[in-house]
Structure 1
Amino acid sequence: MVKRQGLVVWIKHHKYAKRLRRYGHMIYSSRKQKYLLLYVDQDQVEDVIEQIQRLNFVKKVDYSYKPYVDTVYQKKDKHEPVKEEYEEEIRTVF
């Protein structure tokens, strides 16, 4: 399975969105805010960004940080005692 990287491409006008389909898989485009989400193979990201930034209708290109964010979550124990610091703060408030 090929690893992919999301790119947020800010454009000057929405009519240019179709032209960017050749660079990757377009997932979403916003007419009002004038941006689109484009997924590209991770090994081609740098080349695609250079090509896209050369286009005169592109304002800015941002990375999606999803592949770099840790998605392993820890479940909090229900019966974990409240720390003493917080208990003291609660007492002073009431």
Structure 2
Amino acid sequence: MYPQRTGLILWVSDSRHTKQLEKFGTIHYVSKRMHYVVLYVNSDRAEEATKAIQKLSFVKKIERSYRNEIRTEYNSNVPDKANLYT
């Protein structure tokens, strides 16, 4: 089975140094215009990776992605309004 992954959004001062981030995880996207990198790391090593990445000189700010915490199972408790218009 696949390991649980956590997304990190890294705001960088220069996008030329993003190659160095590959040793921490998988680079998903690099925005050269807005200067950020989306990096996926294993959840069990996310804290360690965040501390190590923060020490890099070209990293300005690190934000954690909340995508895996969003509920994706929906229930339809709302009554169907299609019957009202027939």
TM-score by length of 1: 0.79
| CA distance in 1: counterparts of 2:41 and 2:16, whole angstroms | 21
| CA distance in 2: counterparts of 1:25 and 1:42, whole angstroms | 13
Size of the alignment, in residue pairs?
82
Superposed displacement of residue 81, structure 1: 8.8
Q: Which residue of 1 aligns with 2:80?
A: 78
Which aligned runs of 4 or more in structure 1 are off by greater than 4 angstroms? none
Q: Which residue of 2 aligns with 1:59?
A: 60
- Name the % identity: 32
Structure number with bigger Rg: 1
Which residues of structure 2 form unaligned runs of 5+? Answer: none
Q: CA RMSD in A?
A: 1.9
Greater helix proportion: 1
Which residues of structure 1 form unaligned runs of 5+? Answer: 83-94
Alignment of 1:9-48 (within 5 A): 9-48=10-49
Q: Which residue of 1 aligns with 2:5?
A: 4
